[in-house]
Structures are given as C-alpha cells and as structure tokens.
Amino acid sequence: MASLSVSVKHTLPSLPQYAQTPKNPISQNLTIVSRSSQSQFYGLKVLHSPSFSTLSSSRTSIVAKVNKGSAPPPFTLKDQDGKNVSLSKFKGKPVVVYFYPADETPGCTKQACAFRDSYEKFKKAGAQVVGISGDDIESHKAFAKKYRLPFTLLCDEGNKVRKEWGIPGDLFGTLPGRQTYVLDKNGVVQLIYNNQFQPEKHIDETLKLLQSL
C-alpha cells in the first residue's frame, strides 16, 4: 500500500497538462473526422466533424416544405422594374422558378445567361422563367440590363420566400442554395433540381422535363 500511495502522488501533478484547453479548439475539432459523418452537397462529398456540424446545425436544419406533386406556398414579390408579381399570375401555363445566391457572381451569371440563351426553347414549350434571389430592385435591374435577360427577376429581400419553400444552403449553410422548380399549368411541382456547382445543368434538366409535359 505504501508503494501505491507514492505512485499516485507522483502521477497526479502530471494530469492537468493533458486536461488543458487547446489554444485553438476550433482547428483541433476540425481534425476529428467521423467516417459516418458524410454530407452530400450537390455532387460533392464533404467530410466534417461532429463538433463542426453541431456549430452549423442552426444554419443547415431547413426542412423542405415543397415537394414534387405539391403546390408551393404563394408569394408576391417586386420584379426588376419595381412591379408586384404573384406566383398565381403564372397559373395556366408551366413556369420555371429558379432560386440563385446573388446577382453578378460567376455561377449565377452563367446560369442567368444560359437561361437567356435557351429562352426561345422555353417559350416554345409555353413556359415562363422566373429568377429569385435576395438582391434588391436596383441590383436586379442592373443585372438584367447588363446581360440582356428577357425574363423576370424577383427580389426576395430577407430571403422570406426562400425560407418558406425550404431551400437548403450549401457549404454548411454559408451559401444560399441554387434550386430550380418546374411547376405545371396547375401550379403543381413536377421537378426539383438542386445543383450549386453546375449552374448551367439547371437549364438542361428543366427543358428535358418541360418537353415531357
């Protein structure tokens, strides 16, 4: 027993050095990767630690409120000319509603120009195209004019409609999602396409669906 008590006394002082808080706890947490913690972000697999997902859960825990076969929540938003536009305005014809992160960003510019370049095909299919982001009227007006966009851009300032439709964010919720919907003439969702990193693919997928309606 005596030898045991001496051993304990000598080992106890060394315990605090293992219990110290790391100087940089965030970077240390990020090195702990769980094999089971995998998230699919539009074609990319991202490994993340449980601690990081906990920190970001408040940003990424959006539950989809719009599903295929359902009617999405109605909205009325300002367009690039400051006029009110309601979703109900498009009932009776197919409509493509695409949500994008922001005007003048590389991916969003590519996507908008791809919709512009295929606009005649959408018209031939009898469909309208509507783009929605959190930008204001002035930004939309300049964006549409600069790239000669022939379709409507709507201002969802505060991202109210984006939240109501339940569009998930990207990169742990730091980047607004890029999601496209095709509604048929009855206002029912027939396609939901989500791809942040291949913006031009949205045009191919929507045209493919429209041609089958």
Active site residues per annotation: 108
Please name the amino acid found at residue 19.
A
Q: How is 110-141 classified by DSSP, letter by letter?
A: HHHHHHHHTHHHHHHTT-EEEEEES--HHHHH
Enter the tokens of residue 3: 């030898």
**Using an 8 Å Cβ cutoff, are 93 and 185 in contact?**
yes
| Distance of alpha carbon 93 from alpha carbon 102, whole angstroms | 27
**Using an 8 Å Cβ cutoff, are 127 and 95 in contact?**
yes
| Distance of alpha carbon 209 from alpha carbon 207, whole angstroms | 5
